[in-house]
Structure 1
Amino acid sequence: MPTPRDPRPRSQQIAADLRADIMSGDLPAGAKLPSTAALGAKYDAPGATIQNALGILKAEGYLEGQPGRGVFVRGTQQRTITPADYAKPSMPGQPYAWITEAAAHDRRGASRLLDVGELPAPVQVARAFGIEAGDPVVRRAQLLTIDDEPVELVHTFYPRDLAAGTPLAGRKLIKGGSPAVLAELGVEPVSFEDVISTRPPTSDEFVALDLPTEVPILRTFRVAIAANGRPVECQLMVKAGHRHEVRYRWPS
């Protein structure tokens, strides 16, 4: 049987190797990459192929060229997300924890409300809520940014009977975020279930997140469950795959 071969263009293969070294820390932030000639010798590839590989990683934000000095690993290529940090309600009068967390790292987080309204429940949402697909639910759609750079699309769904007449159905950003409202309603989530997957972006996601080519999205579908066992919130979160990693801790 012939040995399987990677069918991707050689420049993508080389970019994948370098990307893996950056993400693992073997090529740390601030590290200078070897010269084009040295990389060409290492990978047995012509200079044009090496330059194409570096161009891929520059477009993704992993590398930056410094004229007269060389090519270096950027220091802010990924954000580590710890889901448990964002589950609890903010203190009264405080912004949503996601924004507070960004500020703690000297960065400016913001949220732009794209849409609020009722729509037919998607199948995955309907299953989580125990309703029929197509039954009406309330959806809030937002675009999250860090230092004005789009980093995440969030679609949050609620049972219509729970959200009606509350800020969850209002067309304004919620001070403290949805966890604060759910706590006020007496259905603060006490447990969560995440299903995480990757896939190529849709056209809308590609444009909204300003993605470079060849980058998958990180898709998280989260169900929040109150103490009485009722699922009270579903979140579909779409992040740029090259910008994020997720950290879980056991036990919590």
Structure 2
Amino acid sequence: MARAFEDKRSAHQKIAAGLRRQITRGDLAPGAQLPSTPALMELYGVAGTTVQKALLMLKEEELLIGQPGKGVFVKGSTQQAISPTVYMPPAAPGEPYRWISEAEKRSQRGSSKLLEVAEVIPPHEVATALGLEEGERALLREQVLLLDEEPTELTRSYYPLELAQGTAMMERRKIRGGTPTLLSSLGYPPREFVDEVSSEIPTQEEAVALELPKDMPVMLTFRVVYSDDDRPIEVSLLAKAAHRYRMRYRLPIT
């Protein structure tokens, strides 16, 4: 028998959660009008101030928009599915970074903003995945990826210094085609990657970079990319706004 458990969230948080799920899963479509405040008060058995707090949360998340004299409407869309596998192959010669080319296929504008390029002592799990000794440094390239000027993903990618030194990866500038293309040209093409995906409370850096509303978690991906002979060539921490995106994987069953 399942043990009793009480949802201790406030009433407006519970209402917002239910409406958010209807929006992100498409049950409330973009442009749909929500019931009036009195109707929502009756539906949920709460006061008007509680309804307004719930709607304010979703407005701050840019899922709802109020139109004076008309009502409250769904502004956001269903969550956008991102397929990691399409971004992994190196770009063809002369082609842009796959984040940009894949966005164009969806009639979106993809761009990136480089935040930092530095030699650092990486986090413990990154060092372990790269096979580094304690205190050994790696190259960090940190950037924000954007879709239609909206911050979408904070990417912190780490590379073994022995691969990066003497290359454009060490320079504070964007790389044509992205690092997968450069690594492939050096004889280290990406062959396989392993993702571990979790939902976590954002750090201050993540909240600011992704312009997250209050109390919104991030979808955090810990990714290890391998080249030939299972050599790790890149380890990344990828943070996405959890209410805007979902991951899509299509894998063969063997």
- TM superposition score category, shorter chain reference: over 0.9
Which residue of structure 2 lines up, in the alignment, with residue 29 of structure 1?
Answer: 30
Q: How far is the alpha carbon of 1:2 from its aligned partner?
A: 8.7
Which residue of structure 1 lines up, in the alignment, with residue 56 of structure 2?
Answer: 55
**SS of the counterpart of 2:230?**
coil
Q: Number of matched residues?
A: 252
Which residue of structure 2 lines up, in the alignment, with residue 9 of structure 1?
Answer: 10
Aligned counterparts of 1:53 and 1:127: Cα–Cα separation in 2: 43
Structure 1 2/232 Cα, relative in aligned 2: closer, same or farther at 3 Å? closer
Which residue of structure 1 lines up, in the alignment, with residue 114 of structure 2?
Answer: 113
Aligned counterparts of 2:139 and 2:55: Cα–Cα separation in 1: 44
**SS of the counterpart of 2:229?**
coil
Which residue of structure 2 lines up, in the alignment, with residue 72 of structure 1?
Answer: 73
Which residue of structure 1 lines up, in the alignment, with residue 238 of structure 2?
Answer: 237
> What is the correspondence of 1:1-252 to structure 2 with a 5 Å cutoff?
3-76=4-77, 78-251=79-252
Structure 1 2/83 Cα, relative in aligned 2: closer, same or farther at 3 Å? closer
Q: How far is the alpha carbon of 1:82 from its aligned partner?
A: 0.3
Aligned counterparts of 2:137 and 2:147: Cα–Cα separation in 1: 32
CA RMSD, Structure 1 to Structure 2 (Å): 1.7
**SS of the counterpart of 1:42?**
helix
Aligned counterparts of 1:249 and 1:2: Cα–Cα separation in 2: 36
Q: Which runs of 5+ in 2 are unaligned?
A: none
Aligned counterparts of 2:168 and 2:200: Cα–Cα separation in 1: 32
Aligned counterparts of 1:33 and 1:58: Cα–Cα separation in 2: 12
- TM-score, normalised via structure 1 length: 0.94
Judge which range, 25-34 or 181-190, deviates more.
25-34
Aligned counterparts of 2:251 and 2:116: Cα–Cα separation in 1: 36
Structure 1 143/2 Cα, relative in aligned 2: closer, same or farther at 3 Å? closer
Q: How far is the alpha carbon of 1:116 from its aligned partner?
A: 0.7
Contact 1:15/1:54 (8 A) holds in 2: yes
Q: How far is the alpha carbon of 1:75 from its aligned partner?
A: 4.2
Q: How far is the alpha carbon of 1:227 from its aligned partner?
A: 2.1
Aligned counterparts of 1:100 and 1:133: Cα–Cα separation in 2: 38
Contact 1:143/1:154 (8 A) holds in 2: yes
Q: How far is the alpha carbon of 1:94 from its aligned partner?
A: 1.4
Contact 1:110/1:146 (8 A) holds in 2: yes
Aligned counterparts of 1:216 and 1:192: Cα–Cα separation in 2: 24
- TM-score, normalised via structure 2 length: 0.94
Contact 1:62/1:77 (8 A) holds in 2: no
Aligned counterparts of 1:91 and 1:223: Cα–Cα separation in 2: 22
**SS of the counterpart of 1:100?**
helix
**SS of the counterpart of 1:131?**
coil
**SS of the counterpart of 2:191?**
strand
Aligned counterparts of 2:220 and 2:82: Cα–Cα separation in 1: 13
Contact 2:23/2:76 (8 A) holds in 1: no
Aligned counterparts of 1:249 and 1:138: Cα–Cα separation in 2: 31
| Structure 1 residues 153-196: Cα deviation after superposition (integer angstroms, max 9, x where no partner) | 11111111011111222211001111101111111111110011
Structure 1 189/2 Cα, relative in aligned 2: closer, same or farther at 3 Å? closer
**SS of the counterpart of 1:72?**
strand
| Structure 1 residues 95-136: Cα deviation after superposition (integer angstroms, max 9, x where no partner) | 111111222222222111111121112111111111223211
Aligned counterparts of 2:26 and 2:193: Cα–Cα separation in 1: 30
Amino acid at match of 1:14: I
**SS of the counterpart of 1:176?**
coil
Contact 1:61/1:77 (8 A) holds in 2: no
Contact 2:25/2:78 (8 A) holds in 1: no
Q: How far is the alpha carbon of 1:72 from its aligned partner?
A: 1.5
